[in-house]
């Protein structure tokens, strides 16, 4: 095993101290603002998921059927369960719609691994202020972002690990440890307990499986249980990140950047680079959606006038099969919501025809929309090698560009290349669009929520630092 940092202090106690001892007053205003947006966005995408993704229901029903001490709310179900079960039931909905916030350089989702755990333990604890919640989420999301970026700066290829699963336990255990007021020493031990259940390979994206979008429930439950055990006096191994036989040694074979993990800790925040999705589709499709929407708006392109759409993409898009051509007669078109979200031709067609891409475009009716599929048949892809230059080393981008070229009946050609799609942290989503996304999600929730309550939730989250008891917020979404 490669251990280039063997002569330096092991980092787990350094990070544990940051998690346990950071105060709300230590957090810069841009970070508290980013955390509020992460909380609002995560709550929004959880609410409609079990209605739009029926595969989730048995997993939630299983926990509800088992019952238990009513500690923490299953959002949208009017039910309370033991905190680890509620974390699971809320967490499995976080990535189901492919709509969650994320860190593009780390290449995985962030809030969904952290926020369900923090909320569940806040309810169990009772009368937790908004400032306490913000602090717990901030230190946990920062820890998780740094883990992902540290690995991203050193790896040369994707896999075999699914980083969202491999690292997700740590975001959850950090949030839970902070919410339980664990000391730095206890936090170190809780991280060691969580290490016992670390794993998760890219096999989870197998098209025959439907658990890919559920992973945040599993990592959240692990993190909550690990922190609770540490609070009860169970002693996990210290130094389980950078020590011998630790995470970096065993799982990453030394491929991590120690400086990313500790430099500027508590002063500079990697979570400022969170990105929020404006469209509920695979992030790799976003440059193409952005390009098509821009061309449509700038040139008043009508879908019925389109003869051909050429898209150029990098090798990773080809490898993941995200631009497979659509052929209605041959039965080659998206059959499931996940298929649709990962199909660049389908997403480009929706954007061309409707001028927007929404959750409703991926339900059964949306996937069968013949007008969309006819436009999607006109989308043809080609590899553009230049889009792969420095793919794994470009700090802060990590999302291959996309180019869309539209030819209409008059023979006119319009082209747009997008390097930083709308929603990227270097091209951030507008606040009003984030609010509209939240409203759109809650409109599809399992149970209708009155408009006044939706407004109240938005107001509470935006002024979370003034909230005395976050249970007021949870009740509105119960």
**Domain check: are 324 and 473 in the same one?**
no
**Domain check: are 65 and 179 in the same one?**
yes
Per-residue pLDDT for 294 more than 70? yes
**Domain check: are 260 and 298 in the same one?**
no
Whether 98 maps to a domain, the answer reads yes
190-238 residue pLDDT tens? 999 999 999 999 888 777 788 888 999 999 999 999 999 999 999 999 9
**Least confident span in 16-30, 186-200, 376-390:** 376-390
**Domain check: are 234 and 143 in the same one?**
yes
335-380 residue pLDDT tens? 988 899 999 999 999 999 999 999 999 999 999 999 999 999 999 9
Whether 425 maps to a domain, the answer reads no
Q: Which domain holds residue 41?
A: 12-278+440-477
**Domain check: are 78 and 120 in the same one?**
yes
**Domain check: are 325 and 272 in the same one?**
no
**Domain check: are 411 and 451 in the same one?**
no
Per-residue pLDDT for 393 more than 60? no
Whether 376 maps to a domain, the answer reads yes
Whether 433 maps to a domain, the answer reads no
**Domain check: are 250 and 320 in the same one?**
no
* CATH number of domain containing 35: 1.10.4100.10
**Domain check: are 62 and 205 in the same one?**
yes
What's the whole-number average pLDDT of the chain?
93
**Domain check: are 219 and 292 in the same one?**
no
The structure's pTM equals 0.94
Whether 429 maps to a domain, the answer reads no
Would you place residue 389 in the very low, low, confident or very high pLDDT band (cuts 50, 70, 90)? Answer: low
State how many domains the chain has: 2
**Domain check: are 130 and 19 in the same one?**
yes
Per-residue pLDDT for 453 more than 90? yes
Can you give the three-state secondary structure of the chain, one letter per residue? CCCCCCCCCCCHHHHHHHHHHCCHHHCCHHHHHHHHHHHHHHHHHHCCHHHHCHHHHHHHHHHHHHCCCCCEEECCCCEEECHHHHHHHHHCCCCCCCCCCEECCCCEECHHHHHHHHHHHHHHHCCCCHHHHHHHHHHHHHHHHHHHHHHHCCCCCCCCECHHHHHHHHHHHHHHHHHCCCCHHHHHHHHHHHHCCCCCEHHHHCCCCCCHHHHHHHHHHHHHHHHHHHHCCCCCCCCCCCCCCCHHHHCCCCCCCHHHHHCCECCECHHHHCECCCCCCCHHHHHHHHHHHHHHHHHCCCHHHEEEEEEEECHHHHHCCCCCCCECCCCECCCCHHHHHCCHHHHHHHHHHHCCCCHHHHCHHHHCCHHHHHHHCCEEEEECHHHHCCCCCCCCCCCCCEEEEEEECCCCEEEEEECCCCCCCCCCCCHHHHHHHHHHHHCCCCCCCCHHHHHHHHHHHHCHHHCCCCHHHHHHHC
**Domain check: are 77 and 91 in the same one?**
yes
Per-residue pLDDT for 397 more than 90? no
Whether 431 maps to a domain, the answer reads no
Whether 1 maps to a domain, the answer reads no
Per-residue pLDDT for 43 more than 80? yes
Whether 147 maps to a domain, the answer reads yes
């Amino acid at each position: 095993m490669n251990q280039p940092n063997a002569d330096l202090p092991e980092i787990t106690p350094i990070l544990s101290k940051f998690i346990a001892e950071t105060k709300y007053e230590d957090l810069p205003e841009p970070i508290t603002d980013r955390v509020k947006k992460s909380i609002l966005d995560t709550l929004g995408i959880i609410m409609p998921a079990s209605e739009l993704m029926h595969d989730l229901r048995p997993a939630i029903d299983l926990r509800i059927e088992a019952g238990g001490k009513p500690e923490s709310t299953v959002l949208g179900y009017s039910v309370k369960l033991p905190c680890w079960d509620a974390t699971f039931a809320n967490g499995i909905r976080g990535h189901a719609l492919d709509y969650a916030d994320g860190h593009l350089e780390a290449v995985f989702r962030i809030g969904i691994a952290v926020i369900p755990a923090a909320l569940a333990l806040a309810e169990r604890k009772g009368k937790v202020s908004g400032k306490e919640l913000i602090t717990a989420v901030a230190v946990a999301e920062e820890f998780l972002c740094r883990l992902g970026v540290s690995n991203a700066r050193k790896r040369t290829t994707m896999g075999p690990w699914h980083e969202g699963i491999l690292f997700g336990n740590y975001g959850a255990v950090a949030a839970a440890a902070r919410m339980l007021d664990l000391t730095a020493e206890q936090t170190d031990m809780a991280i060691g307990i969580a290490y016992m259940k670390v794993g998760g390979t890219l096999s989870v994206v197998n098209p025959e499986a439907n658990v890919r979008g559920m992973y945040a429930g599993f990592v959240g439950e692990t993190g909550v249980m690990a922190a609770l055990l540490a609070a009860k006096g169970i002693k996990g191994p210290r130094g389980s990140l950078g020590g011998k036989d630790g995470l970096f040694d065993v799982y990453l074979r030394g491929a991590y950047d120690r400086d990313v993990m500790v430099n500027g800790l508590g002063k500079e925040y990697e979570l400022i680079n969170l990105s929020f999705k404006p469209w509920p589709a695979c992030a790799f499709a976003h440059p193409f959606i952005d390009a098509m929407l821009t061309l449509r708006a700038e040139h008043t392109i009508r879908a019925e006038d389109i003869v051909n759409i050429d898209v150029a993409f990098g090798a990773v898009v080809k490898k993941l099969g995200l631009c497979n051509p659509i052929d209605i007669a041959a039965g080659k078109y998206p059959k499931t919501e996940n298929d649709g979200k990962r199909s660049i031709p389908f997403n480009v067609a929706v954007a061309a025809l409707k001028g927007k891409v929404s959750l409703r475009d991926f339900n059964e009716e949306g996937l069968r929309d013949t007008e969309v599929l006819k436009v999607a048949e006109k989308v043809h892809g080609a590899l553009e090698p230049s889009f792969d230059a420095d793919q794994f080393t470009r700090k802060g981008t990590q999302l291959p560009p996309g180019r869309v070229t539209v030819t209409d009946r008059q023979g006119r050609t319009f082209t747009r290349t997008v390097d930083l799609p709308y929603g990227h942290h270097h091209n951030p989503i507008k606040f009003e669009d984030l609010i509209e996304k939240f409203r759109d999600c809650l409109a599809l929730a399992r149970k209708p929520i009155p408009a006044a309550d939706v407004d109240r939730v938005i107001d509470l989250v935006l002024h979370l630092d003034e909230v005395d008891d976050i249970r007021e917020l949870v009740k509105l979404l119960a």
